[in-house]
Structure 1
């Protein structure tokens, strides 16, 4: 669901050292230092040689404030040094000139930082808009299927990596795909865009999962031929929900099968997988799609390699099916976040894109 994906996005929020606004303590620090030095100096009965601490106020102000606020804090430090009531050991002209120079330089740096931050914010907004256009948020409900998802790109600061997923309704029923292209990060974004574009066309035109897989395979073969030594390929699992009835056909193309969560039980579907997409073999040796009968409330849980191949400190793979069984009572819209929280507890260092797609069959019709 949209809610699940938005909540998930918060876990990879940028730190203030990577472009996010500074935390409150950074904004408060120069003011606290200024007030603290002044308070100690006023309450001391003898002059104190602590005026040098005020030299840190303007540079600290640069981290969180604009030019005007930085200038105000710089002026306050000079006033504090020169007012006799504070007894800051009578600073000489050199000290005052040095502090004035540092304050002036800090104002200039604050101005430059503000301009650069504004430009970076604009570029980041454009980049995020483009990335969300490639992998948009999945609707909470597509026909008789309720959807929840989570996406974590391995490359810091990006929204899209080498994983892809989508759920679309068409004349042949609801179609879903989840997969992983070769590589991850920004280098894989173009391939993801190409694969998803082909999938969205296939939803409207192709009659079955095998035909969809063949179209995606041809798309990657053509794209790979345009670039020398590209060798583009992707693994994927395709789901084809019948327009009427309670059946779904599942086809794996080099990708692990989904898990079926029914009540308190969970098991991975047994499939006869075909080759990965992009090798030109989808028409020659396609996999065999399995038809699965569904009951209201059944949940199909699709996961990318970032989940299935995550390891703990000892090198043990994440036991996806076993852990999923413990979460049988979790609401479908909360299940992606629950799995993610469990995954990062098990394997704190996640180095691949992580994608989860939860599809819940609901034959009750539109809400």
Structure 2
């Protein structure tokens, strides 16, 4: 799959999640329960009256038309059970005695309420789908597909939301080709939901403007720090912050410059070795006012055949069934050690396949951006 433009997500669209299997089978199981209870009850009593609850059990999973049909079935079935009991007692007129009639009326009334409940549930589900669709469209606008090539680098990206069935989250990434080199960002907003999406929009907007300025990478970081301070003041959130790593690639010098604002260290895959590029840390964006010094940048060689991996903590904190975190460095080393130099798409494809094997459920957003010097890379066979 190398050489393609990649922008992966956990889901491509929204749909109402199906209820658990046991809930879908609950109405049938309830009828079976009534049928079993009828012959085993030692004392004679109108067991059929238990069918009053049947429309409600159906309203949790079925639509209003189906609930109405089940209500009719429940009333008729109550009559069948009552008639069977009456005929056994050789008095068919008892089919219309007061307690049976009361059960029929109660079942019909509960059925009407069940139809209203099912209709309301469906409206709420449709509203949720529309709201999530709008939020997804917003996230897809913010997290634009990563081009296969950006300036002098090849690139690929992956995004998985921690929310089932949605793309909405607080992780972000982007990469831009500028006169100062290729500049990239990866970040993780504190918090979740639409509030986090707003912060993502503010931060990416600032980066996409500041990345083209002539200043150094620290100047870009300071612009973003001021933007975060304004955003925190507007929404009156003194604890708003974003962990982020800013990257700049100087192609003629074959050198990376990194400014890390409390984020996970970038990972370098070079000649089969996997290394975390640890450098001077800085406070997360939004908390820079607590420090007097400017963030410190550090450099590292970045030559053809190398791949730089940027990720958020949703990747390394994904747990398996035993509670163990995803061993990112070990898994990358095991996959690419002694192999031809991978491309960014190779690394993304591997993680997109290997991560779900480790953690079947994701409780946090996952954003990954991989870049490599363009022009001389070979593709590793998967």
TM-score normalised to the size of structure 2? Answer: 0.71
Q: Which residue of 2 aligns with 1:358?
A: 370
Aligned positions of 1:60-99 closer than 5 A: 60-83=57-80, 87=84, 92-99=100-107
Q: Secondary structure at the match of 1:179?
A: strand
User: 1:254 — aligned with what?
Assistant: 262
Q: How many pairs align?
A: 349
For 1:288, the equivalent position in structure 2 comes to 297
Is 1:196 the equivalent of 2:193? no
Identify the residue that residue 59 of structure 1 maps to in structure 2.
Answer: 56
Q: Cα–Cα, structure 1 residues 210 and 283, in superposed 2: closer, same or farther, change >3 Å?
A: farther
Match of 1:266 in 2: 274
- Cα distance in 1 for partners of 2:229, 2:81 equals 79
**CA distance, structure 1, for counterparts of residue 21 and residue 176 of structure 2:** 43
Q: CA RMSD in A?
A: 4.4
CA 1:203 to 1:317, structure 2 compared with 1: closer, same or farther past 3 Å?
same
8 A contact 1:142–1:168 mirrored in 2: yes
Larger Rg: 2
Closer, same or farther in 2 for the Cα pair 1:333/1:311, shift >3 Å? closer
Closer/same/farther in 2, CA of residues 84 and 334 from structure 1, 3 Å limit: same
**SS at 1:340 equivalent:** helix
**What is the 5 A alignment of 1:20-35?**
20-22=17-19, 26-27=23-24, 29-30=26-27
Of 326, 329, 337, 2:352 maps to 337
Contact 1:178 1:304 in 2 (8 A): yes
In the other structure, the counterpart of 1:234 is: 242
- In structure 2, list runs of 5 or more residues that go unmatched: 39-43, 88-94
Query: Closer, same or farther in 2 for the Cα pair 1:229/1:146, shift >3 Å?
Result: closer
Query: Paired residue for 2:123?
Result: 115
User: Relative to structure 1, is the Cα distance of residues 190 and 84 closer, same or farther in structure 2, using a 3 angstrom cutoff?
Assistant: closer
Q: State the shift of 1:170 in Å.
A: 3.6
CA distance in 1, matches of 2:170, 2:324: 23
Cα deviation digits, residues 211-230 of structure 1 (max 9, x gap): 32232123224444556672
- How far did residue 131 of structure 1 move? 3.8
Query: Is the alpha carbon distance of 1:70 and 1:290 closer, same or farther for their aligned partners in structure 2, counting shifts above 3 Å?
Result: same
Point out where structure 1 has 5 or more consecutive residues left out of the alignment: 42-46
Please point out which of 306, 309, 312 is paired with 1:301.
Answer: 309
- Please say if 1:5 is aligned against 2:8: yes
